[in-house]
Each structure stands twice: as C-alpha cells, then as structure tokens.
A and B are shown apart, each in its own frame.
Chain A
Amino acid sequence: MTTLTIARNTFGEAIRKKILLICLLVAMAMIAFAVSFASFTMREELTIIKSFGLGVIAIAGMFMAVILGINLIPQEMERKTIYTILSKPVRRYEFLLGKFFGALATILVSLAVMTVAFMLMVFFKNHYVVDFAMLKGIVMIFFQLLLLTAVALIFSVFTTPVVNFFMTSAVYIIGSLADVTESMSHGTDKNVLVRGFYMIVHYLTPQFANFFTQNPLIHGIVIKNEAVYYSWNILYAIVYSSILLIVAILVFERRDM
C-alpha cells in the first residue's frame, strides 16, 4: 500500500515534468512526420514508417527512462522531501520500490501514447489493416526500458544525476554492443586476460542488444523459436532488474540520509 502511494506520487510528479512532455511531443511529431516520406513506393514507405516509428519510440523511451531514473533519489534528497516521507512509517525498500514503479508507470504510459500514434500511422498506410506484429517490438522496448530504469536507479542511490547520466549511458552503450563484446571474448588471437575481461563485461552488463527486434519485425524475418526468444529475454529483463533492485535496496538501507 505504501509502495503504491509513493508510486502514484512519483507518477503524478513525473507526468508533469516539462522535459518529459516535450520529449513525448517531439516523438509524436516525429512519428506523424514519417508520413511525409512519400517519395518512395508504398511498400518502401511502410517499411520506413515502421522502422522510423519504432526507432523514435525506442530512443524517446530510452531518454525518458534515463531522465527519470537518474533523478529518482537525488532529487528527493536535494529537495529534502525524503525526510518527511521516511520519518513516517515507510520502510526504505517501500520508498525505493515506489519510486521505481512510479517511474516505470510513467514510461509505460508514455510508451502507450507513442504506440497508439505509431499504430495509427501504420494502420492508415497499411490499407487500414492493424499490424499487430509491431506490438512485439514495443513489448521488447518496454522490457529494455525496465532494465535501463533499474540500472539508472541503482546508480541514483549513491551518485549525483550527472555522474549517473554518464554511468547509465555507458552501461547502455556497452549492453547494446553485446555482439561485439561476445565476439571479443571468443577471439582466439587475443590474450587470455583480454578475452576474460570481455567475457566478464559481456555477461555482467545487461544485454540491451537482445531487445532490438525491430529489423526482423519490419522486414518480416522469422526469428528462430520466436516465442522462446521473446519469453527468455522478457524473463532475463525481469530477473536482471530484480537483482539490480535488491542490490539498490541493500545499498539504500545502509546509507545515511
């Protein structure tokens, strides 16, 4: 109940953040702008709209997750609102989870708004046929953002927003290059230590790359064992985020306010 109260408050405050509203409006405008790509054939045009739309949603979502995540705890400390809340019968983990789920709800609602705009664009360009396959891409973007918010949250427990921005971005970039770190960890021409380093980086960093399913979806490429692939990655995002949340709680429980 307490977690829900904190989450509702976090959501209520986040949806009023001007920077997020601007980000959402720009994303919506860009999705709508994709209609102007009319110099291509109908099929090419639809492919571009899908590709562009999913890309805009992924980037806007990432931006929102980072902005929200890096400010979750430092802003409460800076404004001292945390003192009146934690002096009430609120456990620290309830507060942290409330902040996390409030941020996640904001991301979910923003994604839903962008998805409606995107699906409508695709619907009109696809001869009034709903392309439900696109929703798979949106679901994967959401779970990628879940993971990214958890990464930002764990850093926000002990760093400033600026430091957190660079740390979260670095983790996101490394995690998005999972194919590269994997190939580096297997290269036979490299030193054992170098391979070991890349292996550690590859397995410890959240593998954001696994959630990029836009290309096969747009081009109709069939993913082998698609259901298993999606389920496994969703489970991976949930388990990895849970571990990050547990670590964040352990750190937060011990720190002085």
Chain B
Amino acid sequence: MAAAVKTENLTKTYKNIMKREPVNAVSNLNLEVNEGEIFGFLGPNGAGKTTTIKMLLGLVYPTSGNAWILDKPAGDIEVKQQISYLPETPYFYDYMSGSEVLQFYGRLFGMNETTIEKKSMELLKTVGLYQDRYKRLSDYSKGMLQRIGIAQALINDPKLLIFDEPTTGLDPIAHSEIRDLILRLRDEGKSIFLCSHQLSDVEMVCDRVAILNRGVMLKTGHLDDLLLAGHFEIQAEKLSADVLGKINGFATCVDSACDIVVIDVEDGDKVDQTVDLIRGCHGRILSINPKRRALEDLFVEIIREGNK
C-alpha cells in the first residue's frame, strides 16, 4: 500500500537571534501514514504538531529531512490538488457568505463554476449549513465556522485530509456528526491525518496514532496494539478463599469486594492457570476479556515518562 504521508528525519529548528539556544520544533520525525487509514497525530500543546503539518503543506520549510505526500514531495503544487487542510479554529473572509467561501476555494482548485455550485450545495447540506448558505460569515457562530471549514476542506474531493482539531467549538450533536463524517470519508477510501486533543474521538476513529512531545516522536503504532496492554480481565464467582489466595499470588490485581471477583492477569500461561484454578474449585467464569486501556491513560503516561 502506498503511503499517504511519509517523513524521513524531518526536522525544523527555529533560530532566534535574541536567544542563544535554537529551538527544535520537530526533531528527526519518521512517520508513515497508509492510504485509506485515519491516523491520529497527538501531543500536548507545543509538541510540534502544527509545525509538522505546516511542513507537510509546504508552508514551512524543513531544516533537514524529507517529507512526501501521496508519493510526491511535500508542498508540490500537483499534490495540493489532492489534499485538503482544516486548520485549528479556521479563519475565513467574513464579508463572504458560506456559499461564497466554497466558491472562492473551489476556484483556487481551478474547478468550473457549475461543478463548484453543485459540489457547494451538496457540502452545505452535508455539514448542515444549507439554510444559512447566504448568511455572512461574520454572523456565523464558532461551530458554524468550523463546519464551513470542513466543507471547504472537502470541495476538491481530496485523497488526503489533514484535520487540525476538527471538532473544536462544536456542540455534542455536531461533534458526533463530524466524527461519523470522518469515518464515512475513511470508508470512501480517503486518508485522514487527524490532529486532536479529543482523545476519546481519536480512540473511536483512528486506526493508528503517533504521540509527539517537544518535537520528538515518543510512540507510534496501531491503536489496538498500544491499548491492549497484554492483560486479561477475568470475572468469576463462587471462588473458595483458598483459590483466591493462590490467584492473588500471581495476578496483577484481584478485586473481590462483592460476590463477583474481578481478576487482572497478564497474557499467556497465567490466564490458563487462573482458569484451571477456578474450574478446579467449581467456580464459575463469567467472562474473559482482553483488558484495554484508555488512550488518555496511555497518552498521559507516555508524555510524563518523556518529560522525565
């Protein structure tokens, strides 16, 4: 599968003549986003996410390293026909109406007026702004601006979408609609590079993630691989005190506050050992599930470790 985004030792260093130390906004970043996947690009404020996006879009020149978008050098004018970008808190010309904004961006893609008109109406309906299409942007709410931002990002039917905080300022209903839209776009075969602080959204939609801090990539991989920590959670009942004591000896955690005992054991032999012990004492196994961590917990742990 071809890479939608690829970087090799991508580095951006800002030199400030007033300060002695140059600032490494991004250091030796190696990324690969596959076509057709939703890739979560995470990190705390100042981690270098926006600088990376700007380098991918050719807005900022890397100090060293390389970046490719859809197998062409980042910033290439031809590749920009096939990508789109929604910045965090998008700003548009507020004298325009929603419909005019889409016309303006459509023209920048060299689209003809008929296509722009057809596509605009379709997108305005998709993002729920059809009724407000002739309203000036100065009268739009923050959520409406975010939605027109999403619509402009879809005007060219892009192969790769770069979204920077796409759900900022949206109410819960719109939030959920945009999340569904992102999943629908992935199902249509588009690649999505998603930068977000909404970790619950990332957990729900992303296939893979990368966690960045202070310009350095700390972790990357499939979300399932990262969140399935190699632990299983076994729920059982009717366990004797003797068996409970034996399990306590090797389990990570045993919660036996009520009749149902929740046992946390590492993957592998310990699961079999626990099951054998429960069955041996005629206990009843209610469920065995791989234990999944919350992305937020993983994120906090990685960032804290990185800060040490």
B59:A81 contact, CB within 8 angstroms: no
A89:B91 contact, CB within 8 angstroms: no
* Distance of A241 Cα from B90 Cα, bound (Å): 34
Instruction: Write the nearest CB–CB distance from A61 to chain B, whole angstroms.
Output: 23
- Tally of B interface residues using CB under 8 Å: 31
Binds A, one of B27-35, B39-47, B106-114, B221-229: B106-114
B85:A5 contact, CB within 8 angstroms: no
In the complex, number of A-B residue pairs with CB atoms less than 8 Å apart: 71
Mark out the residues of chain B between 129 and 171 whose CB falls within 8 Å of any chain A CB in the assembled complex.
149, 152, 156, 162
Binds B, one of A8-16, A131-139, A221-229: A8-16
B105:A88 contact, CB within 8 angstroms: yes
Residues from chain B with a CB closer than 8 A to the CB of A186 are none
Q: What sequence of 0s and 1s flags, for each residue 3-43 of chain A, a beta carbon within 8 Å of any chain B beta carbon?
A: 00100010011001000000000000000000000000000
Mark out the residues of chain B between 58 and 87 whose CB falls within 8 Å of any chain A CB in the assembled complex.
58-61, 77-78, 80-81, 83-85, 87
Which one of B54, B84, B104, B110 has the highest number of Cβ atoms from chain A below 10 Å of its Cβ? B104
B109:A87 contact, CB within 8 angstroms: no
A84:B110 contact, CB within 8 angstroms: no
B95:A16 contact, CB within 8 angstroms: yes
B59:A80 contact, CB within 8 angstroms: no
Instruction: Write the nearest CB–CB distance from A72 to chain B, whole angstroms.
Output: 14
Which one of B57, B78, B149, B152 has the highest number of Cβ atoms from chain A below 10 Å of its Cβ? B57
A9:B110 contact, CB within 8 angstroms: no
* Distance of A204 Cα from B58 Cα, bound (Å): 34
A89:B110 contact, CB within 8 angstroms: yes
Asked if A189 is at the interface of the complex by the 8 Å CB criterion, the answer is no
Q: Contacting B87 at CB < 8 Å: which of A9, A83, A91, A254?
A: A83
Q: What sequence of 0s and 1s flags, for each residue 81-99 of chain A, a beta carbon within 8 Å of any chain B beta carbon?
A: 1011111111100000000
Closest B residue, CB atoms, query A255: B61
A86:B77 contact, CB within 8 angstroms: no
